Chains A and B, each alone.
Chain A
Amino acid sequence: LAKTTQPISMDSYEGQEVNITCSHNNIATNDYITWYQQFPSQGPRFIIQGYKTKVTNEVASLFIPADRKSSTLSLPRVSLSDTAVYYCLVGLFSGGYNKLIFGAGTRLAVHP
């Protein structure tokens, strides 16, 4: 599975847009890009998944350039409750074969 690199930590303020970029230079043709959010002492929660271009849901947007060697998770107008660790994962997700490889993640702190 492709290795990912993302910032260790980020700080933001309530109401701002936060963009977290993840590098995955060795992404394979069939790999998807998935982002998870995790609060302390809880299991990770799926945020968004994409393969190319842009994906948007009610929580976030995911931007993937044409070469797919990086991706950016965009959180619009963050609030204090968005303080969490965000993980970028890259891998082949086919049916039940979802072996997820987590890195250290990005610790986002949202300040009042």
Chain B
Amino acid sequence: DAGVTQSPTHLIKTRGQQVTLRCSPKSGHDTVSWYQQALGQGPQFIFQYYEEEERQRGNFPDRFSGHQFPNYSSELNVNALLLGDSALYLCASSGALDSTGTYEQYFGPGTRLTVT
């Protein structure tokens, strides 16, 4: 099992540009959540996708959008990039109650986005 994978690993963009980040969930998981983690802070919830629809959304502007595909993989799109969008973007997947009896959310390694 490959776990949660994200691409690319690192990315450098210029202010005003657009970026797309990709995530493949852990096998058997159908829900994908995206988080933004600024340096020295805890991850902040952006939104969550289930059955190809956005189910929950955090306090992020409409410049942040996403998509989930029939195979449960997901994309995070950010338009009109700002310097403040520089962060580690984390994808997490989850599904039904874990076999251990817990509700565990598995995180990927993240994509480091730098906006110059």
Contacts and interface: CB of A to CB of B under 8 A. Distances in A.
Nearest to B9: A41
Given A41-B112, A43-B92, A49-B102, A99 B45 contact: yes
Interface string A72-112: 00000000000001010000011111111111110000000
A99 B33 contact: yes
A13 interface: no
Contacts of B105: 46, 98, 100
A95 B110 contact: no
B103 A93 contact: yes
A100 B91 CA distance: 12
Task: Sort chain A's interface into a size bin.
Answer: 20 to 34
Given A44-B43, A104-B41, A104-B42, A99 B48 contact: yes
B116 interface: no
Given A41-B110, A43-B109, A96 B95 contact: yes
Interface of B: 4, 30-31, 33, 35, 41-45, 48, 50, 55-56, 58, 88, 90-92, 94-97, 102-110, 112
Interface of A: 32, 34, 41-46, 49, 85, 87, 93-105
